[in-house]
Amino acid sequence: MGKPQFLVVLLGVVLVFVLFKFGNTIPPKKQETPVAMSMPSGLTFDQYESIQLKTAQDSIKTNIGIEKNKLTQNGVTTEQKSAIYRRIADLWQKQGNIPLTAYYSYKLAQEKSTKEGYINAANNFFIAFTEQNDTLIQQNVINFALSSYEEAQKRGDTGDDLKIKIARLYVQGTGEPMKGIGILREIIQKDSTNVPALVELGRLSIMSGQFENAVQRLEAAIRLEPQNAEALYFLALSNEGLGKKDLAIKQLEMCKLLVANEDFNREIDEYILTLKNK
């Protein structure tokens, strides 16, 4: 496997681990529901749900049918609808379907119309985007993620954690990567000590081949948090990109000590062996 391909694969491996180990992982969105659902790219959530129901467990299928029938009854209150959407979201979660769990958390947020509800929906869509990349519905996962984020913002500050996730979504999931980079730069301008934003900017610099910029961001993050394994890992990749093989290997070995995860360490060992054999 050549260097660029290997680097991309390993980045993917570590990102999955980093999200699990370090991230507060839950999904994002876009604009208004009617707009997002009418998008011609991919399936709507209703179409996607119909497909998923065909292979769902019988108990899940039956219970979802019961709950959805309740929505058609006359005089259903907002509180009752909220409870129904919450139960359907829980049922899809038991089925292991993250996009539909996120979708019904969005429906719940619409009923409650609170910042917290839309933040929860946005986080859930982000998980669907990063962990369950189903091309049948991925475009609307992105649309609804951005919509949830926008709705949460209208109701007050969403916090930097969600902003960083949305920035990643813009960069990796849309044709507007500079919007994501702009969000991260705004965070850094307000707080130059925001380690997650520094690490994310460093990661993006690696992806675009700007290794010197990546080193600058990541070294700043490590000065603030010397035990940050994520920053150290990406710093090693940056130094490898700059041709500093020995330094990269040293940093990867240090990263193994901090992470102490068997699967992750195995990937690191393979990467180090590749570097030594170059």
**pLDDT (tens digit, 9 = 90+) per residue, 225-271?**
999 999 999 999 999 999 999 999 999 999 999 998 899 889 999 99
Lowest mean pLDDT among 139-148, 166-175, 214-223: 166-175
**Rounded mean pLDDT, 143-161:** 95
The domain segmentation of the chain, as residue ranges, is: 25-157
In degrees rounded to 5, what are phi and psi of residue 39?
A: -60, 135
Q: pLDDT (tens digit, 9 = 90+) per residue, 194-223?
A: 999 999 999 999 988 999 999 999 999 999
Residue 190, pLDDT > 50, answer: yes
CB 234, CB 218: distance < 8 Å: yes
| Residue 42, pLDDT score | 75
Using 50, 70 and 90 to split pLDDT, how confident is the model at 127?
very high
* Helices 98-112 & 45-54 angle (0-180, nearest 10): 130
| Residue 175, pLDDT score | 85
CB 144, CB 29: distance < 8 Å: yes
Using 50, 70 and 90 to split pLDDT, how confident is the model at 40?
very low
Cα separation, 189 vs 20, whole angstroms: 28
Cα separation, 130 vs 24, whole angstroms: 12
